Structure 1
Amino acid sequence: MNAHDAITDLHADALSQAIHARQVSCREVMQAYLQRIHRLNPTYNAIVNLAADDTLLAQADVCDAELAVGHSRGWMHGMPQAIKDTGAAVGFPTTYGSPLLKDMVAQKDCVMAARMKAAGCIVVGKTNMPEFGLGSHTFNELFGATPNAWDVKVSAGGSSGGSAVALAQRLLPVADGSDFMGSLRNPAGWNHIFGMRPSQGRVPFGPSSDVWLDQLGTEGPMARTVTDLAKLLQVQSGHDTRVPLSLSSPLSVDGVTCDASRMKGVRIGWLGDLNGYLAMEPGIVSVCEEALQRMASQGAIVTPLSLGFDTDRLWQCWLAWRRALVGPRVGALMSLPDARDHIKPEALWEYDHSLTLSYNDFSKASQTRTSFYHHLLTLFENVDVIALPVAQVWPFAVDQRWPTHIGGREMDTYHRWMEVTIYATLGGLPAISVPAGFHSTHAWPMGIQLMGRPQGDEELLQVAAAYEAAHSDLLAKRP
């Protein structure tokens, strides 16, 4: 192993400690990551709009000079970070993967990017994503596709696919992303890392054009260890007055420890495929059940759980909410020249359907979401964690737009194959994708989705950390 690989192999918390102990300089860290990015990113296309080496090394030198006089910006001091292309970072285009926005250079940082910068990170570029973040498959006309970190023939997932692959391939020490319909969870599961959708409002999303209604998407962390995941979430979290519904309750992750014994007595309710309602490719449920057996061997109490709510009613609720929130975002671009020619069909489908959505329809969907939230509270009277597969299909061919069938079942929308992710989103629940295992004949990872109580981020992180502590051999596997 050369010196550069020794640096990029460090987990983020260990890297932070090494930087602060002056065991490695910020310049050496940046050089190591840039060397790896230049070597591997042409294959994986995970990082886009990469800044110039000289610019980044100069910023690293400033970080070293600050440490020399005893000043640290925070946990991320001198760490390279690439921001998912939904987030604004000063000096970089915020393209959302759309040719229409390729020249939209950010003049201000989004809240998450500003907080990571304040903690010391150096922004090196952006991470690739599907156009407008729609669909769990990272490809767009502007930058092309990001293949899976384990098999370049198949999808990385999405929409935080670039983030997940950059992390799995050690192009970044930690990564950020956003999650609307599993966008932090699905690519984490498909790339054998941890991805967390925090409680709604935990990480202020914005500032944006609407801060009251738009409460389904959230930004959050991805990492190769739960410690790194928790540390990054702590950096990202906290109330911001410009995002009035962001949570003001403090988040402390100091008590999250890699202690396998802390799984004992945790009550896990297993939803599986919702008694056959969710179409699942062969092998997914069994891989997730193997992960649950590992948790049970640590003392967790795993029991089958019925969702107990009308699943079709929830899907119709989801369609209404999604159209209400996605439609206007696409509509804001429709006045641009030749917009329809440069917007992917799935986004146009969302926009066109949003035009027929009435207020009464949306109000009913909001009431359904409220009923479902109250129902979830009753489920948590008997369990501490609710578990589901993180995806309904294995990673599919990278040149396929989306799975049209699962087994013999036709998918009636471009995102129906991702239905398994909507329950945490509609409930505003914290949810972590934990590596569960691999396909029986291919090097394709799969994750299991653990959902915690409302605002139970710390407790959920502890469950994931206990799992990690007991199964280091599985989690240490790398592409």
Structure 2
Amino acid sequence: MELTDKSALELSSLLETRQISAVELMQATLDRIAAVNGTVNAVVSLGDADDLLTAARVADDAPRKGWLHGIPMAIKDMANVAGFPTSMGSPVMPTEPAKTDDLMVGRLRAAGAVFIGKTNTPEMGLGSHTFNSVHGTTLNPYDHSRSAGGSSGGAAAALACRMVSVADGSDVMGSLRNPAAWNNVYGMRPSWGRVPSEPKTEMFLHPVGTSGPMARDPRDLAALLEVQAGPDPRQPFGLPAESYLDRIAANIKGRRIGWLGDWGGAYQMEPGILELTEAALRVFEDLGAIVEPVAPPIEAAQLWDSWLCLRALANAGRLDPLYQNPTTRARLKPDAVWEIETGRALGAIEIQRLSLIRSDWYLRAAALFDTYDALVLPSTQVWPFPAEWERPHEINGTPMDTYHRWMEVVVPVSLIGLPCVNLPVGFGANGLPGGAQLFGRHGDDLGLLQLSQAYHQATDWPGKHAPVVS
């Protein structure tokens, strides 16, 4: 086994016991990136090799900071990392390196991570297909003619290709789940408030996104979440820090899982996707869990109505300064302009109506979790599509009326900030990977990690089915 095939925790142990050096690991990482990144284009803004080896040498000589000490990491190109540019995949962003780390990045650095570059993302993180005019398109490691998903597509592809052992991502509308599914890795959207964002925008109205961990196994997922998570006294609604890794091993016999399928036919699914998720549910049954079908607890159309506009409201607040400037507005992609203009058109009474739908769904979901430990939906409605497409325009003949409607299946989780793990569930007849959303009660991140770990020990799709990339 090559060094880059090992999990992050395995590498951490080898570094701690001095069986390998950070310099050795950095060189192996750079060699792997040189060998495969030209094919998939997942890592961007890669640092100078000599500088990175020097940083690794410093890590070898320094006191150990935390479990990430000496581990190379590439950060999703939506977050600031001191010394690297933050393009957000957009030509309107400044090209000079960031001067400071974002909060979450600073926590990783404090735990000893060595930053090597960024991972690719769609422009402004909008859309579940990672392409932009700054860095180009990230391709799927399992079929180089297909999309790697998004918006954490670069992170997921880099993980699958063994260019990094663990990665960060962010998720508004499936960005930690869709690319994880399409790259045969784990991606976790934590409970909203678990991982604080940057305290630089409006912090009270209609939050929809969060950062979270990505990995090839749930133990690495848990360990990275422990570093990312914890309240920030400058921000409201934070959840307390918890330990996950030392409690992740658990007997899941008797735990109850509800299967939502295609939400009573509301969500169009390409052939084979439901069947692949059902096969994963049988793994849980073999482990002693109880799996039952669940009827749609609320109309999907209501959720979409609320989500469509509240997401646009959040994006309008985030991107409006670029829209107000005629020079930068002209360079924004149409999806960003659509989000901003949709959000700007909302009135106060409409926002209240949409928020009431959101609140009603939260109450209904809470009632479901009185019966079930977790619920399951597919992570995607389509298989990875041709990379030259901007997006799918129809599913099974049903037109998609917005640029992101083809990812509607992630909305029930995103709208109310529930914790969710993408489980790799194998490959379709087309040879392409798929995933399932395993989600639970707000705050029960540990329960999902325990279910994920039991499932991983029975399957290990990422370990047994690495992509062939050269």
State whether TM-score is above 0.5. Answer: yes
Match of 1:412 among 401, 406, 419: 401
Match of 1:450 among 430, 434, 438: 438
* Shift >4 Å, 4+ stretches: none
Match of 1:274 among 260, 263, 266: 263
Q: How does 1:117-136 map to 2 (within 5 A)?
A: 117-136=109-128
Match of 1:20 among 16, 19, 22: 16
Which position in structure 1 is the counterpart of 2:29? Answer: 33
Tell me if the contact between 2:216 and 2:462 (Cα under 8 Å) persists in the aligned partners. Answer: no
TM-score calculated relative to the size of structure 1 = 0.95
How far 1:443 moved relative to its partner? 2.3
Match of 1:54 among 40, 50, 55: 50
Match of 2:320 among 314, 331, 334: 331
SS of the residue corresponding to residue 266 of structure 2 reads coil
Unpaired runs of 5+ in structure 1? none
Tell me, in whole angstroms, the C-alpha distance in 2 between the residues paired with 1:24 and 1:399. 41
Tell me, in whole angstroms, the C-alpha distance in 2 between the residues paired with 1:253 and 1:368. 36
Q: Which stretch of structure 1 is more off in the superposition, 214-223 or 306-315?
A: 306-315
Tell me, in whole angstroms, the C-alpha distance in 2 between the residues paired with 1:475 and 1:373. 36
Alpha-carbon RMSD: 1.3
Match of 2:242 among 214, 237, 250: 250
Which position in structure 1 is the counterpart of 2:410? Answer: 421
Which position in structure 1 is the counterpart of 2:453? Answer: 465
Match of 1:320 among 286, 298, 309: 309
Tell me, in whole angstroms, the C-alpha distance in 2 between the residues paired with 1:104 and 1:443. 41
Matching of residue 351 in structure 1 with residue 340 in structure 2: yes
The residue type paired with residue 84 of structure 1 is K
Tell me, in whole angstroms, the C-alpha distance in 2 between the residues paired with 1:267 and 1:121. 37
Which position in structure 1 is the counterpart of 2:223? Answer: 231
Tell me, in whole angstroms, the C-alpha distance in 1 between the residues paired with 2:277 and 2:318. 36
How far 1:474 moved relative to its partner? 7.1
SS of the residue corresponding to residue 309 of structure 2 reads helix
Which position in structure 1 is the counterpart of 2:194? Answer: 202
How far 1:44 moved relative to its partner? 1.1
1:235-267 Cα shifts (integer Å, max 9, x gaps): 11101112222212534431102x6xx231110
Match of 2:466 among 457, 466, 478: 478
The residue type paired with residue 447 of structure 1 is G
SS of the residue corresponding to residue 359 of structure 2 reads helix
Tell me, in whole angstroms, the C-alpha distance in 2 between the residues paired with 1:279 and 1:475. 30
Which position in structure 2 is the counterpart of 1:78? Answer: 70
Tell me, in whole angstroms, the C-alpha distance in 1 between the residues paired with 2:344 and 2:61. 55
Which position in structure 2 is the counterpart of 1:186? Answer: 178
The residue type paired with residue 147 of structure 1 is L
1:127-150 Cα shifts (integer Å, max 9, x gaps): 100001111000001111001111
Tell me, in whole angstroms, the C-alpha distance in 2 between the residues paired with 1:96 and 1:277. 33
SS of the residue corresponding to residue 175 of structure 1 reads strand
Tell me, in whole angstroms, the C-alpha distance in 2 between the residues paired with 1:91 and 1:18. 28
The residue type paired with residue 53 of structure 2 is L
Which position in structure 1 is the counterpart of 2:160? Answer: 168
The residue type paired with residue 167 of structure 1 is L
SS of the residue corresponding to residue 325 of structure 1 reads helix
1:46-96 Cα shifts (integer Å, max 9, x gaps): 111111011111111111112xxxx21100000100110111111111111
Tell me, in whole angstroms, the C-alpha distance in 1 between the residues paired with 2:394 and 2:234. 42
Tell me if the contact between 2:323 and 2:340 (Cα under 8 Å) persists in the aligned partners. Answer: no
In the superposition, relative to structure 1, how do residues 57 and 51 fare at CA in structure 2: closer, same or farther (>3 Å)?
same
Tell me, in whole angstroms, the C-alpha distance in 2 between the residues paired with 1:141 and 1:271. 38
Unpaired runs of 5+ in structure 2? none
Identity %: 46
Tell me, in whole angstroms, the C-alpha distance in 2 between the residues paired with 1:473 and 1:137. 23
Q: Which stretch of structure 1 is more off in the superposition, 265-274 or 341-350?
A: 341-350
Which position in structure 2 is the counterpart of 1:290? Answer: 279
Tell me if the contact between 1:320 and 1:361 (Cα under 8 Å) persists in the aligned partners. Answer: no
SS of the residue corresponding to residue 381 of structure 1 reads coil
Tell me, in whole angstroms, the C-alpha distance in 1 between the residues paired with 2:381 and 2:119. 25
TM-score calculated relative to the size of structure 2 = 0.97
Tell me, in whole angstroms, the C-alpha distance in 2 between the residues paired with 1:73 and 1:388. 39
Tell me, in whole angstroms, the C-alpha distance in 2 between the residues paired with 1:39 and 1:156. 18
Tell me, in whole angstroms, the C-alpha distance in 2 between the residues paired with 1:372 and 1:298. 30
1:206-244 Cα shifts (integer Å, max 9, x gaps): 132222225210000000011100000011110111222
